[in-house]
């Protein structure tokens, strides 16, 4: 059911410092910071040959990654995003198998303008999973 790895998201406290690690130390192509107020984050996109890394810094007081950074002050992997061909069919199959979809279960428009859902980490080996319609 899941297809390509779309991105790995890493929560960070200091986006400029994090971008410098990927650009200068690791030698990757990084974007300028992109504020995404609807998602409560500012993002730097790191483009790799086969996938992307997204560096996420909290934006605003209600950022969904603020609590993650309280627990993990050094930052860390926040979620992985897999592509699916049909997000509604994927959701229905997962829910039928007992997996929990976060929120009201309806896809939201994600950071790339495509429908996304998040799956409960307790059902997936302690990893928050984002599904994105391919
Ligand atoms: Co994501």
Give the C-alpha separation, 125 to 107, whole Å.
Answer: 22
CA 62, 120, 126, 34: dihedral to nearest 10 degrees?
-40
47 strand-pairing partners: 29, 52
The string of DSSP codes covering 7-73 is EEEEE-S-HHHHHHIIIIIS--EEPPPEEEGGGTEEEEEEE-SS-EEEEEEE-STT-TTHHHHHH-T
Nearest to 45 by CA among 64, 32, 27, 36: 32
Compute CA 22 distance to the chain's CA centroid, rounded to the nearest angstrom: 17
Ligand 1 centre to CA of 109 (Å) is: 11
Residues with CB under 5 A from ligand 1 (ion): 9, 81, 130
Ligand 1 centre to CA of 110 (Å) is: 7
Ligand 1 centre to CA of 46 (Å) is: 13
Can you identify the CATH homologous superfamily of domain 2-133?
2,3-Dihydroxybiphenyl 1,2-Dioxygenase, domain 1 (3.10.180.10)
Residue 121: its pLDDT value, please? Answer: 97
Annotation marks residue 130 as catalytic = yes
Which of 54, 57, 83, 130 does the annotation list as catalytic? 130
Place of tokens 């198998």: 97
Per-residue pLDDT of the chain (134 residues; tens, 9 = 90+): 999 999 999 999 999 999 999 999 999 999 999 999 988 999 999 999 999 999 999 998 889 899 999 999 999 999 999 999 999 999 999 999 999 999 999 999 988 889 999 999 999 999 999 999 99
């Amino acid at each position: 059911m899941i297809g390509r790895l779309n991105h790995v998201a890493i929560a960070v406290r200091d986006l400029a410092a994090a971008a410098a690690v990927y650009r200068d130390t690791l030698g990757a192509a990084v974007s300028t910071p992109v504020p995404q107020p609807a998602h409560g984050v500012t993002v730097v996109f790191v483009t790799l040959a086969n996938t992307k890394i997204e560096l996420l810094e909290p934006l605003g007081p209600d950022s969904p990654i603020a609590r993650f950074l309280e627990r993990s002050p050094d930052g860390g992997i926040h979620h992985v995003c897999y592509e699916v061909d049909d997000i509604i069919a994927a959701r229905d199959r997962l829910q039928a198998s007992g997996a929990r979809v976060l929120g009201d279960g309806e896809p939201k428009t994600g950071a790339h303008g495509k429908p996304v859902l998040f799956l409960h980490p307790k059902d997936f080996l302690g990893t928050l999973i984002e599904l994105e319609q391919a």
